Amino acid sequence: MADLPILLLNSFSYILVLILVAMGLVIIFGLMGVINMAHGEFFLLGAYTVVMTDSLGIGFWPGLILAPIIVGLVGLALEYFCIRFLYDRVLDTILATWGVSIAIKQLIIIFFGPAGLMVNPPLPQLVNMGLIEYPAYRLFIMLASLSVIGFTFFIFLKTDMGLAARAVIANRNMAASLGINTRQIYRNTFTFGSALAGLAGAIMAPLMSCDPQMGLGFFIPAFLAILVGGTGSLSGILAGGMVVGGSDSIISYLFSPVSSQIVVFTLAVIVIRIKPQGILGTKRNE
Amino acid sequence: MLNITNLHASYGGSRILQGVNLQVAQGQIMALMGRNGMGKTTLMRTIMGLLRPSSGHIIFDGKPIQGRQSYKISSDGIGYVPQGREIFGDFTVAENLRLGALKFDRKNRDIPEEIFDYFPILAQRQDQLAGSFSGGEQQMLAIARALVGRPKLLLLDEPSEGIQPSIVDEIGQILKKINSEAGLTILIVEQNVDMVLEIADNFSFMEKGIIVHNCPVQEIKADESIITGYISV
Amino acid sequence: MAFILETKDLTKQFGGLTAVDKTSLKLKEGGLRCILGPNGCGKTTLFNLISGCYKPTSGKIIFAGQDISGQPVHLINRAGIGRKFQIPSVFNSMTVEENLRVPSSSNWKPSLLRSKNSVPGNRQEILTLLNLLKLTEKTNELAGNLSHGEKQWLEIGMVMASKPRLMLLDEPTAGMTAAETNKTAQLIHQISIETGISVVVIEHDLNFVKKLASRVTVMYKGSIFREGNYEEIQEDKDVQSIYLGRKR
Amino acid sequence: MERKINVHKRLTSFFVLLAVSILVLIGSSALAGDKKSIKIGVVLPMSGGLELFGQQGIQGAQMAVAEINAAGGVLGGHKLELIVEDNKTDPKTAAEKTKKLILKDKVTAVLGPITSANRNAMLPFINKYKTPLLYATDYEGEACSRYLFCYSAIPDHYIKPFIPYLTKNYGNKFYLFGADYVWPHKMNEAIKKGITDAGGHTVAEEYTPFGVKDFAATIDKIVKSGAEVLVLTLPGADGQTLVKQMTEFGAKDKVKIAFMGFNDNYMSGLTGDQANGVITCNHFIQSLDRPEAKDFVGRQHKMFGKDAIVSFYADSHYGIVMLFKKAIEKAQSVDREKIIDAMPGLSVAAGNGQVTIHEDHHMTLNMLIAEVIDGKLQMKKYIGPTTASPQCAGKL
Amino acid sequence: MNKFAFISPNGRVNIIRIFVLIALGCFPLLQDAYLLSQLTVFLVYGLFAMSLSLIWGYGGILCFGHAVFFGIGAYIMALTTKGMIPGMTGIFTSTLFALLLSIAGTALFASILGYFLFSGRLSGPYFGIVTLAVAVVAERIATKWDYIGGFNGLTNIPAFSIGGYEVLDPLVLFYVILGICLILYLISDRIVNAPFGTILSAVRDNEDRVEFFGYNIANLKILIFSISAGIAGLAGALFAVAAEFVSPTILGFSLSTEVLIWVALGGREILLAAFLGAISVRTIEALLSDILGYYWILGLGVLFILCVMFFPRGLFGQLLSNKPRN
């Protein structure tokens, strides 16, 4: 049973990162019905921001701050030049954002080349936690993810901006009639969701190979987490992340990563089939 | 205060408003009456900017507002209480009220005290989920929420629908009070004749997308058959 | 067994709200019936129950002697109930003729490979229908390009093409001009008389109801409030007071 | 409405123009081509994920061709010419490009690709049109065809010298972890046998799908297993991710990482700390401290700039082009069949000493063991000529 | 006014159809063996694109994993003709039987998958994402499954043979595949113009309305899904013959999305437009991708975005539509 704490920590850190990645995706989808297929590439942009600041000698930490800002601006531009024309064509937003994902990935290849790039580990030491030693940076990631997730919940549940956004989700016309600029809310949300993806990419950059294909690795599990958790409420993603991330880590540990991927996929498809609204989603009608 | 001329609007190709002319004077309570499906709600939605008029003018407070976005119209000073109230059931009372004030600068977002004077029940139950309220309480909340936005003109769409008669009376009295104390102009769509006879100054009747008759309340009190002709079977 | 449709204590609740409350409605085969009532009285919910959109909370719907309550939408339609929606629901990207072909495909198993023009009888029916709807000239026009009134007629035609025994029409004249409303009244009258299809209409336009000269059912708070012919209803003081919001 | 129609008109005329220009292109390209040159088609990835390796392969081939041509070509003045095609790391594109090179450009031989899947997709055409395929990437072995020549380290090449070295220096308990596809499976099959032969034992053998980004659970398992050596057959980005996370967890102090296929390309993605201690077995590394290697790297840098990475891809692609040239000279003909018959037995001095191609169309290579020390991939032990067991008995 | 105003839309479309057929039929006159073999494969892609158009353009169902069916068809073809399916020998390894089996097997798989998804009323973006997941899983399984070649795939697939006669001549193979494409085009065109096609378009426009006419929407969708998959499977089988190999990449995410681009650019709502979309994108790609290098994919991505935003009917869609403008 000495395995348990580390297994839990490992699962927990994967779950938190998964939720962090999925969070941006789900608030955009929940609010606007837009599936942002370029989310993985926003993650990529975030990671490359850190790669750049690190190689320019500015270091990792400023990059971590810069990444969400830059990626947020990219998201803003995408919303302004593309997404807002497609709000009433939901399926087409999937296609358009997917085109964007192709373009961003290709731009990265053109500018940075196809090779994996490095980021100096910002916190290389291990922390002694009594029973076990655990990498400091991973603890930081958990803490950072937790606070970003908490911050997002705070924004949505406790601030005026979040109140307005929730009102727009619940009843767009009524919110507009109360003087809330729904367009603005959409734009802010898209920007915020993009910034979250950028932040997630920046946070993960020291831990994974930073190459142009890195976005996909989190994108698909994040999607499954959303589908499993349901899109109706923000807390759905917590449940979805827990189920997908947790089962993935545990099966990886007990069996192998190959079986865990197949099991998680199958599990997700079954959940989606039985509860199309997700485990925390509520069914429409009756 | 509100001057609508020759307003046309369609919904899904269906021509609902076919040339509406309507004037509401400052400080007045105007009742808009007519059968279902005649375009009253559509008119409200069009004034509020939720539906784009195909032609015609809406002048509010001396300024054309037709075709403006809803949130701007709200900021111009029109409050809206839609049919079915559309309060945010999953939000608390306080949040619902705060939503009405979000259009203001951060420092002006306080809920005016007099709101709770008009609707004392809301003061006690600020943290309760609005969805748990009864119909009448929800209606009060919806009106209060609109008032938080400090409108010059309040649009009310069937406030008495699905509400027990005693509360309808209460709401009517509160509206009258707000009208006389704060000078709020009100345009109310209503089927409950007793209530509007009590509070309205003027009546307009709508049929097939146009205003077919205008008259002051006295005229109706003198001859109720006017009303029956326009809204009953 | 003279009734084509009979609802027995039909009830539908949404959460705490009872939209339709123990409604017992009886319709004779081949008749025309208007349903009136103030907003929120449960008319459209009643239609949704009969056509299978909603499952009833309790009560029964008997159609042509069969209990159809709780059946899926498509089976209820196959049993012989056709419905027109309030907002015209035609197939915008298809031509008028194609729109009319949708319901007329035999046995709901549309032929995969047979040319649509190879069935002369079918074609003849569609031409007759187009003629009845006065849409012959628009045969090859996209339904999306029709005027609002024309869309409404087209949808009525589509429902007819599905050869129902009972047609439910939800506000067929909403958003129509006076002239279009008149034409619609004639059309419905004609359908009712010539085809023997039973027709139930939800309507607010009293001139229209008057023109149809049908029996009228007034609903209020989810139940049937009155039944009678147009004149009886018009003179009924209680009906007037519910419309004026005076009924307690 | 009017504007839309205009746009559409323009689009239509655009497409007409495009069609015309395509036809012109097709027509004109048919006329081009120098009669005296011997063409080698190159099918390597320049996009799609493995473009880095493709680029280095091309570097090697280009230098070989440049040197041959500068020395007067082959057979009294025939110049070699490379026609490079991008296979996008995708089998169906690789097959298409092979067809193009053989049918349209009428190349004498094809050089490439990187992955086995691409090679398999190309082989049908290679065989059908009887054109030699010069394959210069390490792979799992047992690919046999009269028309296929492999300048490749196959599992035997590594296992023979490397596993005994590992057991001797780092321990007996092995954990095998690889990507879930053919090469790692075949490698591990051979590695397990090598481990048993060397008296060690395999604690676990495990695979992971492509694209997994969090290996925490696996790393924990590896450490707990008590293994002394982790043999990685996890190429590319995922391998880098694993090494990064091993470092993060401090696991590298407990388990030695023997990373199969690790080469100079991996260094850019890892910091010195992360890469230090990773040990591998290969037939060429950029920092190889031997005269011919230094010379080779120098020539590469002269041609492609100081920053060019000179990995074994550059060396092997250079070497196989040189072998091909020798075969033409030996055959005294540009006839493909004669060239093929001339190939076996030829030797060439590439970046790492004399290497020889055998009857089974596979090579004797000079292997070496290298380790990352102080952030640089450095030679640890030179092993020298290593020959794999015969691959294609009766299959050619 | 439209410059084709002097002919009816139907006439215009027929002229283009005949023109395309003649152009393709006369193509071998160019006497270029390479281009011919390329076009042979492009025809297969065209057929594949057409199958996607059938379900996406006509049925309104966005399938993000259509390559699964293409791949399954290809694998069935390869396994059958190589005699790798246990118990199937002799006549059962013939090309024609394999073709039939590819169609039937793929359609069967699609109907099971379709039953699973459509009867759960999965639609819109959810359906797209689930099919995407199916494609990823399928590629995963094919990569892992050694018996069917694993990551490296299968090669040495026997040539197309009809009644013992092997089609080794690329020219004959081209005409055989062109013929099959033509037949499938005619069949598909018939389907979309038959009563079933009418209902299908109706489902795309307004699913509820169709249900209220007594149709079982789930069954209709399963049927078109299976037909579309069957055609994709046939295209895959032909690919296996024409390209002489199969590998996991042809049933995964990347080909699934490539075919979406072809169809979106060509015009999803018209079979021929989708077909031409595939052929022209592949042709331009073959010509330009080497010249433009990395910029080719960037350009394709941008073109795709613009097309989705401004030409939802695709570049050939309006030209080939015989319906009045909307």
Q: What is the pLDDT of residues D12-57, one digit of tens each?
A: 555 565 665 555 555 544 444 444 789 999 999 987 778 888 999 9
pLDDT at C200 over 80: yes
pLDDT recorded at residue D19: 62
Mean pLDDT, chain C, whole residue set: 85
Which candidate, A2, E39, E222, E303, places its Cα nearest to that of D96?
E39
How far apart CA E89 and CA D186 sit, in angstroms, is 30
Pairing mode of beta strands D347-350, D376-387: unpaired
Domain-by-domain residue ranges, chain A?
20-212
Of residues A261 and D54, the one with the higher pLDDT is D54
Is B227 within 8 Å of chain C by CB? yes
CATH number at residue C124: 3.40.50.300
Chains touching D, CB cut-off 8 Å, 3+ pairs: A, E
Beta-carbon separation of C39 and B161 below 8 A: yes
Residue A7 to residue A245: CA distance in whole angstroms: 12
The four Cα atoms A253, A256, A261, A267 give a dihedral, to 10 degrees, of -70
Q: What is the pLDDT of residue D2?
A: 39
Model-level ipTM above the cut of 0.95: no
* pLDDT score of A286: 27
In chain A, DSSP assigns E strands to: 126-128, 133-135
Q: Is the pLDDT of residue E4 over 50?
A: no
Stretch D77-101: mean pLDDT, rounded? 89
Taking 50 as the pLDDT cut, the residues of chain B under it are: none
* Amino acid residing at C36: L
Structure tokens at A226: 């959303």
Mean pLDDT of the A129-149 span: 89
What domains appear along chain D, each with residue ranges and CATH number?
38-153+288-365 (3.40.50.2300), 156-282 (3.40.50.2300)
Residue E189: exposure state from Cβ atoms within 10 A (0-12, 13-18, ≥19): middle
Q: In this model, does residue D321 exceed pLDDT 50?
A: yes
Q: Which pLDDT band, with edges at 50, 70 and 90, does D76 fall under?
A: confident
Per-residue b or e along E12-42, where b marks 16 or more CB atoms closer than 10 Å to that residue's CB: bbeebeeebeeebeebbeeebbbbbbbbbbb
Assign D85 to helix, strand or coil.
Answer: strand
Per-residue pLDDT band at E1 (split at 50, 70, 90): very low
Name the closest residue on chain E to residue C86, using Cα atoms.
E209
Which residues make Cβ contacts (< 8 Å) with residue B34, sequence separation at least 6?
B40, B205, B206, B207, B230, B231
Minimal CA–CA distance to D90: which of D69, D120, D131? Answer: D120
pLDDT digits (tens, 9 = 90+) for C19-61: 888 888 888 888 889 998 877 788 888 999 999 888 899 999 9
In this structure, which long-range contacts are made by residues E93-101, counting pairs with CB atoms below 8 Å and at least 24 apart in sequence?
Answer: E94/E161, E95/E158, E95/E160, E95/E161, E95/E162, E95/E241, E96/E162, E98/E237, E99/E234, E99/E237, E99/E238, E101/E76
Q: List the single residue in D46, D86, D124 with the smallest CB-CB distance to E245.
A: D124
Mutation site, C49, C50, C91, interface E, largest E CB count within 10 A: C91
Contact D271 A121 (CB under 8 A): yes
In this prediction, what percent of chain B has a pLDDT beyond 90? Answer: 55
Q: What is the pLDDT of residues A32-56, one digit of tens each?
A: 888 898 999 999 999 999 999 998 9
Q: Compute the distance between CA of residue C214 and CA of residue C31 in angstroms, rounded to an integer.
A: 8
Structure tokens at D16: 């007409």
Query: Cβ separation of C240 and B16 shorter than 8 Å?
Result: no
| Number of domains present in the structure of chain C | 1
Longest dimension (CA), chain B: 52
What's the pLDDT tens digit per position in D257-279? 999 989 888 888 898 889 999 99
Cβ contacts of residue D104 below 8 Å, gap of 6+?
D29, E32, E33, E34, E35
Q: Which residue of E has its CA nearest to C114?
A: E194
At a CB cut-off of 8 Å and minimum separation 6, what does D168 contact? none
Residue D363, pLDDT above cutoff 60: yes
- B:C CB pairs within 8 Å: 81
Q: Which chain A positions have a beta carbon within 8 Å of C54's beta carbon?
A: 285-286
Higher pLDDT, residue E238 or C242? E238
pLDDT digits (tens, 9 = 90+) for A90-137: 788 888 998 999 899 989 988 888 788 888 888 888 888 877 888 999
Q: Are D124 and E156 in contact (CB under 8 A)?
A: yes
Please compute the mean of the pLDDT values over residues C184-201 and round it to a whole number. 89
Nearest to C240 among B37, B38, B228 (CB): B228
Is D6 a residue whose pLDDT tops 80?
Answer: no
**B with D: touching (≥3 Cβ pairs within 8 Å):** no
Cα–Cα dist D133/D112, whole Å: 7
Quick one: which of B176, B208, B86, B184 has its CA closest to B135?
B86
Lowest-pLDDT range of A222-226, B21-25, B127-131, C196-200: A222-226
Structure tokens at D351: 């970046």
Average pLDDT, chain E: 88
Does the pLDDT value for residue E154 go beyond 80? yes
**Domain range list for chain E:** 34-256
For the ranges A260-264, D122-126, E113-117, which has the lowest average pLDDT? A260-264
Residue type, A26: V
pLDDT value at position D13?
56
Interface test with A, best of B45, B69, B86 (most A CBs within 10 A): B86
| Per-residue model confidence (pLDDT) at position C121 | 62
Query: Residues near D338 by Cβ (< 8 Å), separated by ≥ 6?
Result: D331
Dig out the tokens for E168 from the structure. 């080794």
Which one-letter DSSP state was computed for residue E54? I
Average pLDDT over residues C88-96: 88
Q: Pairing mode, if any, of strands C215-220 and C223-229?
A: antiparallel
Beta pairing partners, D386: D365
Is A52:A59 a contact under the CB 8 Å cutoff? no
Average pLDDT of span A161-180 = 90
Q: How far apart, in Å, do the first and last CA atoms of chain D sit? A: 67
Chain E hits for C114, CB-CB cut-off 8 Å, are 194-195
